[in-house]
Amino acid sequence: MATAASPAPPSHPTRSSTRWRSQAPPAPHARSRRWQPAAGSLKNITLETGGKSPLLVFPDADMDQAVKWSHFGIMSNQGQICTATSRIFVHREILPTFLARLLAPSTSVSCLTWRSPRARAPTILTGGAAHVSTNPDHKNGYFVKPTVIIDATDAMRITQEEAFGPVVVILPFDREAEAIRRANDTTYGLGAAVFTTDLERAHPVAAEIESGMVWVNSSQDCDPRVPFGGVKQSGIGRELGDAGLDAYSQIKAVHVNMGNRL
């Protein structure tokens, strides 16, 4: 497998647009270097560059569903999902119950698909108390043990940077406004999830969260009819749905004179 994409295709004269998906590198100049060929030739560009998606669990949430989807949202595909809900904000009064259920040993997790996330994970796993799977290490494959971080702060690297692995941070909150503010305290804005049985709460919270997609009482749902994409440093444009076709379309105006007027 190639380690880098060719710089030629985005600027090729026969191309009218470019679609790029990648894990966002930390340095802005590294990102721009990848996409300058398209920008320099005035090509339309659609980007999806990763995320650090929040998941909010309110006191009235269905606990069984919240735990199930929280686990699925970060551990499915070994956490190698750009929309992985890797920051879980849980209301303080239900935090002990939520943690007890989330940490119950019941599932195995496979290896990562490539080496880079495995090498990166230990560099950002600093601070906070870690609950790590006690399963024995696997020698064959890029394995990272499922890890749940508690007692972390919003400013720590593990809370701010994409690990792209089975690593999740659990953060308590006391008030709705606080949860929204902290959920938005990131450079990313790809996905988010809200767990509550009160739709009159769910919709205003979803509207306030800065992300391209919000799931209510689920995580990682995807439908080809629904636009997919992010805001902030998570990308530009959309794919899927009618909005996904816009990136590959141009609006043309045709004027027809049906009379003899000049």
**pLDDT, one tens digit for every residue, the chain (262 residues):** 445 555 556 667 766 677 766 655 555 555 566 667 776 777 788 888 889 999 999 999 999 999 999 999 998 888 889 999 999 999 999 999 999 999 887 655 555 555 555 445 555 555 555 565 545 455 666 677 788 999 899 999 999 999 888 899 999 999 999 999 999 999 999 999 999 999 999 999 999 999 999 999 999 998 999 999 999 999 889 999 999 988 888 899 999 988 887 7
Reported as type and span, the H/E element at residue 157 is: helix 157-160
C-alpha R_g of the chain:
21
48: helix, coil or strand?
strand
Could you say which DSSP state residue 37 is in? H
Tokens representing 130?
């870690």
Largest Cα span, the chain: 85
Q: Is 48 a catalytic residue?
A: yes
- Domains belonging to the chain, first-starting first, are 54-216 (3.40.309.10)
179: helix, coil or strand?
helix
Q: Which of 48, 161, 162, 239 is catalytic?
A: 48
Nearest Cα to Cα of residue 228 among 217, 213, 215: 213
